[in-house]
Structure 1
């Protein structure tokens, strides 16, 4: 990330959630809908904001069929990245291609995700099982600086908007 990008991230890190959403929600939605990566500070409370951005961007694209599933799945990937990656920033990107919709969460860790067995009645260990159950496919790619964890949903062409 450039020094300018670092300054932007530092300013985003300082903002309370409500202020961040008020100032940047529309920009985040527009960037995501335009298939540009958005960057968010790695904070647990921003997962809910990211889910709202995903929902809004998909509605703007007139893609209404899997809005809730995409928000749930992207939220699971973001929560995992916040909990396990340990970096300052997360990237979220939507890409569309014929027959598929793909969301990717990028973080600075090169440790690949692995499913763990959830304890009955426990709160942890269900995220990747949910991603596996609701998505067409999912995976992780090592990047020059970190990794990208993604899921894809199969869609019909007219649903892509």
Structure 2
């Protein structure tokens, strides 16, 4: 599967990936490449971690065989990372207990992102997070 750039509107890339844990690595690569193209490499580490958590949540909780990763640059030094899946159940932010392997993803996303949320879609949902960097000029 190949990433596709957005032909019109603000810059963006997207890729449909299989709903498997290994897709987090492909999603991280997509984020890093998009941010490098836009000259926003300073957000690459946080962006890669955020997309990993969002893809991991979709792999664990969504239905169907694929998820879609969307990276957009709606404004100078603003990046929105989204993962679309076919579950209408919104993510719930809960604190992990000391023994749990799960429950740390959304608190981590909230700590790294300027903002994050969920957009309901007719067939599922988009979970997104925004990063804001330094304006260059």
Task: Report the aligned-residue RMSD.
Answer: 2.0
Q: Which residue of 2 aligns with 1:139?
A: 117
The total of aligned residue pairs comes to 133
Could you say which structure has the higher helix fraction? 1
Q: Which residue of 2 aligns with 1:157?
A: 135
Deviation at 1:56, TM superposition (A): 2.1
Deviation at 1:73, TM superposition (A): 0.2
Q: Which residue of 2 aligns with 1:86?
A: 63
Q: Which residue of 2 aligns with 1:112?
A: 90
1:63 to 31, 34, 40: 40
2:20 to 28, 43, 48: 43
Please give the TM-score of this superposition, normalised by the length of structure 1: 0.75
CA distance in 2, matches of 1:86, 1:149: 15
1:128 equivalenced with 2:101 (yes/no):
no
Could you say which structure has the higher strand fraction? 2
Q: State whether residues 86 and 125 of structure 2, in contact with CA within 8 Å, keep that contact through their aligned partners in structure 1.
A: yes
Q: State whether residues 34 and 71 of structure 2, in contact with CA within 8 Å, keep that contact through their aligned partners in structure 1.
A: no
Deviation at 1:54, TM superposition (A): 1.3
Please give the TM-score of this superposition, normalised by the length of structure 2: 0.87
Deviation at 1:93, TM superposition (A): 0.8
Q: Deviations over 1:35-88 (max 9, x none)?
A: 143111111111112112211221122211110000000110000000011221
Secondary structure of 2:100's counterpart equals coil
Higher-Rg member (1/2): 1
CA distance in 2, matches of 1:42, 1:31: 21
Deviation at 1:101, TM superposition (A): 1.2
Which blocks of at least 5 consecutive residues in structure 2 are unaligned? none
